[in-house]
Amino acid sequence: MKKWLNSNGVEDNSIILYGESLGTAIAVDLASSNSFSGLILESPFTSMEILAKKYYPYLPAKLILKDKYKSIEKISKINSPILIMHGREDKIVPFSMGEEMYKKFDGVKYNFFSDNDDHMMNFNENLINTIKKFISSLN
Reported as a single tens digit per residue, the pLDDT across 10-42 is 999 999 999 999 999 999 999 999 999 999 999
Report the domain count for the chain.
1
Asked whether residue 6 is domain-assigned, the answer is no
Asked whether residue 25 is domain-assigned, the answer is yes
What CA–CA distances, in Å, run from 110 to 6, 72, 81, 85? 27, 17, 8, 9
CB contact at 8 A, 74 and 32: yes
Is 119 in the active site?
A: yes
Q: What is the sign, positive or negative, of the torsion defined by CA atoms of 59, 66, 77, 138?
A: negative
Distance CA 59, CA 117 (A): 30
Asked whether residue 4 is domain-assigned, the answer is no
- What SS3 state is found at 2? helix
CATH of the domain at 58: 3.40.50.1820
Is 118 in the active site?
A: no
Give the mean pLDDT of 40-66.
Answer: 93
Of 32, 37, 118, 119, which one is the catalytic site residue? 119
pLDDT at residue number 1:
82
Is 117 in the active site?
A: no
Domain housing 111: 11-80+89-137
